[in-house]
Chains A and B, each alone.
Chain A
Amino acid sequence: AQKVTQAQTEISVVEKEDVTLDCVYETRDTTYYLFWYKQPPSGELVFLIRRNSFDEQNEISGRYSWNFQKSTSSFNFTITASQVVDSAVYFCALSEVNRDDKIIFGKGTRLHILP
């Protein structure tokens, strides 16, 4: 069973539009962590956020915000006023604390911001 699902394979939006990247996860653990990573065209993985399962507060960091909803097992990522430099592949990921020490990545969403 896929543990992290990013249903949007590819999204294109025009610069300055807001865009939300969806992430749905699956776990039986009560303690887990969720992550978002950005992979720009240069290929590296850039850490964006880590959220533990006990903290459902939404988080905002500049133009980025994250909406964590345990009831729907979702951890969505919104970019406000998108910019061309936001073009990248974005990965949602899950770590199950009591199971093992690894991150399970989703398949990623490729985001194109059009000028």
Chain B
Amino acid sequence: EPEVTQTPSHQVTQMGQEVILRCVPISNHLYFYWYRQILGQKVEFLVSFYNNEISEKSEIFDDQFSVERPDGSNFTLKIRSTKLEDSAMYFCASSYGGMNTEAFFGQGTRLTVV
């Protein structure tokens, strides 16, 4: 069964460092997303990406965040200068026709900022 793959599964970084979280969406999917879940809290939308551009972003997704689909298969989330409050589980998701179709989530990357 096709799946969304995220690497690494766990990333520890020092405050102020840049991190890149990587995702390989399902190959024929067209819509890509990042969500975040601070420990013990709900899953929150960060950004959606379609046709090589951001289609929507939340207020969480400020100038410190960026996304890219560099090579047609990977979908990355970059945090430029990490803060302690960026510590969370980050989920990548992809779908063929938008979130109203079945969206598949990756297993998540746990980011710990120290």
Q: A42: nearest residue on chain B (CB-CB)? A: B107
Check if B55 is an interface residue, CB within 8 A of chain A: yes
Interface string of B45-72 (1 = CB under 8 A from A): 1001010000110100000000000000
Q: Does B75 reach chain A (CB closer than 8 Å)?
A: no
Query: Do B41 and A44 touch (CB < 8 A)?
Result: no
- Interface size class, chain B: 20 to 34
Number of A-B contacts (CB under 8 A): 56
Secondary structure dominating the interface of B = strand
Name 6 extra pairs, CB < 8 A, besides A43-B89, A43-B108, A44-B106.
Answer: A45-B91, A47-B103, A91-B42, A100-B56, A102-B58, A103-B35
Q: Which 9 A-B pairs have the closest CB atoms?
A: A45-B105, A44-B107, A102-B45, A105-B43, A107-B42, A101-B98, A95-B99, A105-B42, A33-B100
Q: Which residues of B contact A (CB under 8 A)?
A: 31, 33, 35, 41-45, 48, 50, 55-56, 58, 89, 91, 98-100, 102-108, 110
